[in-house]
Amino acid sequence: MGRLSPHAIDTMYECYLQGWTVRDISRRFGILPRRAKFFIWTRAELYDEILPKYGWKYYYDAMETELEIGEEYGYVDYGLDLDKMKRARVPEQIVEWTHDRVDAQRKV
């Protein structure tokens, strides 16, 4: 299981604020609905509770640490590249088989 980047989590929260359902968000980002709910909840807590209390400097320091960890271990951002994938040329049908067909049923 990969880590989502802060940008992906912010995008997820923005989608939720625009009226997307948790199920649609989880499908878009390729994660479980519980995980989507958790990310939405953490962003709501960040923007509604933590930032008014601690300020933006705290947020920027935490984001810098998060990005350093991300550089070391990497992110897996499903869902952010959907528009790019839509524009990519996808084969519509297979016209040539490279392998022989295999009969999976055993004859008794």
Most confident of 15-24, 65-74, 78-87, 99-108: 15-24
Pairwise CA distance, residues 2 & 35, whole Å: 12
Q: For residue 85, what pLDDT is reported?
A: 62
Which position has the higher pLDDT, 41 or 103? 41
Q: For residue 1, what pLDDT is reported?
A: 46
Give the pTM: 0.66
Tell me which DSSP letter residue 88 carries.
S
Which position has the higher pLDDT, 61 or 76? 61
Pairwise CA distance, residues 30 & 83, whole Å: 15
Q: Where are the domains of the chain?
A: 6-81
Looking up tokens 């929260």 gives: 13
Which of 7-16, 34-43, 52-61, 65-74 is the least confident region?
A: 65-74
End-to-end Cα, the chain, rounded Å: 42
